[in-house]
Structure 1
Amino acid sequence: MKLNYMQSWNRAMALLLANKEAVIAIAGVFVFLPTLLFAQFVTPPVLTGDEDGNAVLAVYSAYFNDNAIAILASNLVMSFGSLAIYFALAPSRHSTVAEDLTAALKLFLVYLLAQLLSGLVALPGFLLFVIPGFYITSRLILVPALIADEGERNVVDLLRNSWSLTRGNGFAILLFLLMIGIVGIITIGVLETVTGVITGLATGGAGWPFIENLVASFTGTAFQLVLIAVIVSLYIALTGKNSDVSNVFS
């Protein structure tokens, strides 16, 4: 089937609206809060622009070595939160936040392994010509939705099923996600820049890091929620499950 971008977008927004209480609760605790805490307490690597490749590598190596635990912990918590949101939006589920969190916890290891395997499968494409890597990623994009909606535990079957469902729509999905990504990155960049200018003017140039981190964390979380909802919407379109947007509210 040919994807309808507008229908997929409208369905994604309808999913978020219909499940806003669960999504806000999960995202607030497991995505927004870890993002804010990480930004507030972990100093990012600082580059002057004069470094050569070896110097840049040394800076980032030191950064990761000094903050390995914080990076690992925050990413695990946010990954768990993302999976729980997939459960909240899955078309076959009508459960409470507690049930979504419990279900996500039971399948979290499967999710991590599937994401790792997806990355390994796409890696050769990124190393060769980049675009094949993005294409492979777009073909495997439905893996978390399959975990949440069907409870599949076989990692290989998850990748195989996503590849099968996206057959004939790989480039369409890639273009759709690229459009959303570009618009999202530009929007986030503009909001963060405006926030920086306002706080800089208000404090005589010193800025207010907490407010800037707050805005950055909020916009980043919102963008992630949109991406998750779009992926679930694509899953619904390609499987034919609950394909009518109006049914989302039933």
Structure 2
Amino acid sequence: MVKFDMGAAWDDATTLVRAHLPLTSILAGLFLFLPGMILALLGPAPLAPPANATPDQLFALALADMRQQLPWLLVIAIASTLGSVAILRLWLARSGTSVGEALTFALVMIPTLIAIFLIQSLLFGIAFLLLIVPAIYLIGRFAAVYPLLADRDLKNPVAALQGSWQLTQGNGWRIALFVILFMVVLLIVSAIVGGVTSLFGAHGSFGHLIGSTINSAVSAGFGLLNTAVIASIYRQLAVRAEGGVFA
């Protein structure tokens, strides 16, 4: 059994982004950048804690802030998922496709994506109840789900999950490590950028607009790179499993 090569996957991910940037930048702008800007400019301002707030007050404030932000974050999650699937279709469709066709494909896949989300949420919930280690393993085994349905036009959510499970056989931990390392870097860089841009100005100011633009651009860039990471995982595994070659 051939082991998953993290270095080769990373090289392939960066190559995908560079090679297809003119086309994917349209979808990334619409689905990864624009929703973040809408949230920053039209969404609710973060709740500020009062002076000398007690731990109970801080906890209650955090819950209240989460409740007011949740609908907006849900819309962003839906938009980013649709954008990622459309981008994956552009990259992985073996017969070639246009931006419009890729977008139509993502919209048609909405019922499948909802079903996959519900099934994965159930499985990850059970895994967390069994301690966090099984959940980490599932990250690796389900990493190829979205690229698989984008490549093979799978509308059966169970078939997509089973296909990812088969492709990642024997490489679950290595893929999980690869994905988690990328996510850790993403979180660190995003936290640093967010900390710097928070100094630009209060919510509603011109400085806030500039900071929000930078934050949304960084978030969109990482979203595009994350999509390339899972595409590169799939490309490597699919080529080895099928003996084929992606263009």
TM-score class, shorter-chain normalisation, is 0.7 to 0.9
Q: What secondary structure is seen at the aligned counterpart in 2 of 1:180?
A: helix
Identity in percent: 28
What corresponds to 1:138 in structure 2?
A: 140
What corresponds to 1:215 in structure 2?
A: 214
Q: Is the 8 A contact 2:47 2:61 kept in 1?
A: yes
Q: Over residues 158-184 of structure 1, what are the superposed CA-to-partner deviations in whole Å (9 max), with x where a residue is unaligned?
A: 111111111111110111111111122
Q: Is the 8 A contact 2:49 2:58 kept in 1?
A: no
Query: C-alpha displacement at 1:21, in angstroms?
Result: 1.5
What corresponds to 2:127 in structure 1?
A: 125
Q: Is the 8 A contact 1:3 1:172 kept in 2?
A: yes
| RMSD of aligned Cα (Å) | 2.6
Query: C-alpha displacement at 1:23, in angstroms?
Result: 1.1
**What amino acid does structure 2 have at the position aligned with 1:40?**
L
Return 5+ residue gaps in structure 2 as ranges.
none
Return 5+ residue gaps in structure 1 as ranges.
none
Q: Is the 8 A contact 1:113 1:155 kept in 2?
A: yes
Aligned positions of 1:1-250 closer than 5 A = 1-42=2-43, 43-47=45-49, 50-52=54-56, 56=59, 58-59=60-61, 61-63=63-65, 65-66=67-68, 69-90=71-92, 92-197=94-199, 199=200, 208-240=207-239, 248=247
Q: Over residues 16-50 of structure 1, what are the superposed CA-to-partner deviations in whole Å (9 max), with x where a residue is unaligned?
A: 11211121000101110011111222223445673
* Rounded Cα–Cα distance in structure 1 between residues aligned with 2:169 and 2:216: 35
Query: C-alpha displacement at 1:93, in angstroms?
Result: 4.6
Q: Over residues 41-90 of structure 1, what are the superposed CA-to-partner deviations in whole Å (9 max), with x where a residue is unaligned?
A: 222344567333x963x445544554565344333222211221111221
Q: CA distance change for structure 1 residues 190 and 64 in 2, over 3 Å: closer, same or farther?
A: closer
* Rounded Cα–Cα distance in structure 2 between residues aligned with 1:3 and 1:47: 47
**What amino acid does structure 2 have at the position aligned with 1:17?**
R
Q: CA distance change for structure 1 residues 128 and 207 in 2, over 3 Å: closer, same or farther?
A: farther
Q: Is the 8 A contact 1:118 1:137 kept in 2?
A: no
Q: Is the 8 A contact 1:34 1:77 kept in 2?
A: yes
Q: Is the 8 A contact 1:236 1:243 kept in 2?
A: no
Q: How many residues align?
A: 239
Query: C-alpha displacement at 1:115, in angstroms?
Result: 2.2
**What amino acid does structure 1 have at the position aligned with 2:217?**
F
**What amino acid does structure 1 have at the position aligned with 2:184?**
I
Q: Is the 8 A contact 2:9 2:233 kept in 1?
A: yes
* Rounded Cα–Cα distance in structure 2 between residues aligned with 1:70 and 1:98: 26
Q: Is the 8 A contact 2:190 2:219 kept in 1?
A: yes
* Rounded Cα–Cα distance in structure 2 between residues aligned with 1:230 and 1:67: 28
Q: Identify the range of structure 1 (40-49 vs 124-133) with the bigger mean alpha-carbon deviation.
A: 40-49
Q: What secondary structure is seen at the aligned counterpart in 1 of 2:161?
A: helix
Q: Identify the range of structure 1 (144-153 vs 80-89) with the bigger mean alpha-carbon deviation.
A: 80-89
